[in-house]
Each structure stands twice: as structure tokens, then as C-alpha cells.
Structure 1
Amino acid sequence: MELGLNGKVAVITGASKGIGFATAKRLAAEGAEVVICARTASALEEAAKDILNETGKEVVTIVADVTKEEDCQHVIDTTVKHFGQLHILINNAGTSAAHSFLEVDTDYWKNDLDLKLFGAIYTAKAAIPHMERAGGGAIVNVTAVLGKTPPASSLPTTVSRAAGMALTNAMSKDLGSMNIRVNTVCIGFIRSAQIERMWQTKFPELTWEEYSRKVGKSIPLGRIGETEEAANVITFLVSDAASYVSGTSINIDGGSAPAL
């Protein structure tokens, strides 16, 4: 399948590791010009080196805190100054934060919403004028399946992610006339540094595949997902192959979510 990504310019937030890193690598392999940003310079440099080694493609790194609107503007301005245009934005920055309602204080609520919701708003607002000038573009907001059916002690993440889903749908309606598509991927149990630490701490005698199957017994596909599997879906959504897909959410969870 021809994805039409060669020469397209993409910005990915939270891209020094995990799903953001895997997506940057996949886009680079498809010929896109990629800008990755995160808060730690050393992690970005290591990610860029790995992408270059695996794909032969250099990526641009920008240190940024997406909770700050001026940082988000700087990322987009620097990208356009470097490449002259912008076509793709992937709002991936986020952390896992799951507590009961009474455990979450006001500052924690604000910090989580700033990172996962306002970070996406700030970068999108900065990016949209450039996408419009380019004749269109694609935005993917990375959210979570638990935002659709929040369980107990899943705050503030599930609220922030649910807001991200609503933002996605509303943006798709407002931006469609500019040929800007907006979608969200809802992440389930995907391999991460946090999950790997749990594996190495609790079950060091197991291989990753054994641990994945053990933990994945409650998942219909029977295992933990890999970051590359999420990256493949995101790459499709920002590609020309998904040119008539907008305003939707796609679960990447091995079939575990009780809601579409």
C-alpha cells in the first residue's frame, strides 16, 4: 500500500520513547521529515541516533514542555523554519496517572489536563495555519481506551483522555473544510518502560513473551501490545491511505475495551 508520506513534514510530541518514538521511526522509514520533541535533551538525542541507525534518516530534535504554550509555538515555528511547511501533528505527550477521586488534589488535576489536553490544544492551534497553507494535513491525538469506560481509581488520566476524544471529534468538524483530518487512537495495554520494569521486578525468570502472555490472559488477543503495532495504526491515519478518515477513534487494545 502506498502511504504517500515521502517528503511530508511531521511533528511528534513525547517522542523520545514508547509509542512516540516507534511512530517517529516508522514515519522516517516511510520517507517523512520528522521532528521529535520531549522535555529531556539526552533522551531525544538517543532517540534520534537510534532512528538514524535503523532508517538512515535524520530527525530534528526540539526540547519542549507541551504544558507551556510558548514551547508548543516554538516547536511549530522551528519546524516550519527548518522545512518550510507542516503536514502532520501527532499529540502523544502524556504519562500514566491513576488514582481514586479523593487522592487527586487540585494541582494534580491541573498538571494532568495541562499535559494531555492543553498540550494538544496548544500544538494544534500553532500547527493549523501551516497545514491550511500546505493544502491540508492530519492530526492524531493519542488517548486511552479507559477514557471511554473509566473504572474506579483511574483519575485524572481517564478524564483527560475523554476530553481528548471530545476535542478530536469537535476539531474534525471545524477543520474539515481546510482538508485537515483529526483522529484519535485509544491505547490499551501496550509495552512501555513502566510495564518492562514490572516484568523485570516481579517475574525476572520469564521471557518477555512469557510475561506478555501471562499478563495478557484477560486480553482477547492474549498478549500485551507492542509499540510498533500502535505506530502502524497512527502512521496509517496520517497517511494518504486514510484520506477519507476523520473524526473517529480507533482502539489499539487487543480487543479488551468494552466500548467501540
Structure 2
Amino acid sequence: MELGLQGKVALITGASKGIGLETALYLVKEGAGVTICARNQDRLEEAAAYILEQSGKEVFVVEADVTNEEDCQRVVAATVEKYGRLDILVNNAGTSQAHPFDKVSPELWQQDLDLKLFGAIHCSRYAVPHMRQVGGGAIINVTAGIGKTPPASSLPTSVSRAAGMALTKAMSKDLGPDNIRVNTVCIGLIRSEQIEKRWKNQNPELSWEEFSHKERQIPLGRIGNTDEAAKVITFLVSDAASYVSGTSVNIDGGMLGTL
């Protein structure tokens, strides 16, 4: 299948590790120019070295904090200055903050919304004019399944992720006439530093495969891998998904109780 990504330009936030890093790797393999940004310059350099080793191609590295609107504007401008255009934005920056309602301080509410919701808003705001200039584009807001079915003690993450889903639908309606597609991927249990820490603390005697297959609530019987999420994102930003907009795709092994 031809994905049509050759010569396209993508900006990926939170791309020094995990899903963002793997998505950058898949996009450069498909011929896209890619900017990766995150808050830690050392980790960004390590990510760029990994991508070069795996693909033989370089990515553009910009240290940026998407909770700062000026940084969002700067990383978009730097990407366009480097490549001359911008076609794809993957709003991936985020962390997992899961607490009971009465344990979430006003400061934590604000930090979480600034990172996951307003980071996506500001990056999109500055990216959209450049997408219009090239005749369209694709935006992915990376959210999480708990935004659809929030369990107890899932705050503030479940609320900010739900807001990201609403943002996706509204943006898709407003930007569709400009041929800018906006979708979200709802992440379930995907291998991450947090999950690996749980594995090493709780079951160090098990291999990763053995630990992964202990997750009985997942119909597919295992924790997902970052590349499995990256492949879906790569498809959604490609020409192969040219008629897909305003939707959410669960990447959760069938765990969620909702579509």
C-alpha cells in the first residue's frame, strides 16, 4: 500500500521516547521529514541517534515545553524554517496522572490540562496556517481509553483525555473544509517506562513476555508494544486514510468497553 508520505513534513511532540519516538521512526522510514520535540535535550539527542541507527535518516531536534505557548509557536516555526512546510502534527506529549478526586490539587489540575489539552491546542493553532498553505494536512491527538470510560482514581488524566477527544471532534468539523483531517488514538496498556517499572518491582523473575501476558483484562492477552501504536498513527496521517477524520481509534487490545 502506498502511504504517500514521501516529502511530507511532520512535527511530533513528546517524541524522545515511547509512542512518539516510534512514530517518528516509522514516518522517516516512509520518507517524511520529521521534527521531534520534548523537554529534555539529552533524551532528544538519544532518540535522534536511535532513529539514525534504525533508519539511516536524520530527524530535526527541537527542545520545547508544550505547556508554554511560546515554545509551541517556536517549534512550529523552526520546523517550517527547516523543511519549508508542515503537513502533519502528532500531539503526543503527556504523562499519566491518576489520583482520587480529593487528592488532586489545583496546581496538578492546571499542569495536566496545560500539558495534554492546551499543548495540543497551541501546537495546532500555530500549525494549521502552514497546513492550509500546502492544501491540507493531518493532526493526531494522542489520548487514552480512560477518557471514554473513566474509572475511580483516574484524575486528572481521564478528564484531560476526554477533553482531547472533544477537541478532536470539534477541530475536525472546523478544519475539514481546509482538507485538514483531525483524529485521535485512544491508548490502552502499551509498554512504557511506567509499566516496565511495575514489571521490575513486582515480577522481576518474569520475562517481559511472561509479565505482559498476565494482563487478563485484555482480550488479546498481552500488553501492547509502542510500534503497534506507531503503525496506526502512521496510517492515520497518511494518504491511505484520506477519508478518515473526526474519529477515535482504540489501541488497547480490545480492553475498552466502548467503541
TM-score, with length taken from structure 2: 0.99
SS in structure 1 opposite 2:213? helix
What is residue 25 of structure 2 aligned with on the other side?
Answer: 25
Residue matched to 1:132: 132
Shift of residue 218, structure 1, vs aligned partner: 1.2
Paired position in structure 2 for 1:245:
244
Identity of aligned residues (%): 68
How many residues align structurally?
259
Q: Distance in 1 between matches of 2:205 and 2:187?
A: 28
2:127 and 2:185 map into 1 onto residues whose CA distance is 19
Mapping 1:1-260, distance limit 5 Å: 1-214=1-214, 216-260=215-259
- How far apart, CA to CA, are the structure 1 residues paired with 2:101 and 2:193? 26
Question: How far has the Cα of 1:200 moved from its partner?
Answer: 1.3
Question: What is the deviation of 1:192?
Answer: 0.2
Name the SS of the counterpart of 1:111 in structure 2. helix
Displacement of 1:198 in angstroms is 1.1
Q: Which amino acid aligns with 2:61?
A: T
Runs (4+) of structure 1 exceeding 6 A deviation are none
The letter for the 1-side match of 2:97 is: A
The gaps in structure 2 that reach 5 residues or longer are: none
Cα distance in 1 between the residues matched to 2:5 and 2:216: 37
Distance 1:73 1:162 in 2: 24
1:201 and 1:67 mapped to 2: Cα distance?
A: 31
Counterpart code for 1:149:
T
Give the partner amino acid of 1:5.
L
Q: Indicate the SS of the match to 2:176.
A: helix
Distance 2:257 2:201 in 1: 30
Deviations 1:197-226 (Å, cap 9, x if unpaired)? 111121111111000001x21100000000
Structure 1 unaligned runs (5+)?
none
Deviations 1:152-207 (A, max 9, x none): 00000000000000000000000001000000000000000111111112111111
2: CA distance between counterparts of 1:48 and 1:200? Answer: 27
* One-letter amino acid of the structure 2 residue matched with residue 86 of structure 1: L
**Superposition deviation, residue 250 in structure 1:** 0.4
The letter for the 2-side match of 1:210 is E
Structural RMSD (CA)? 0.5
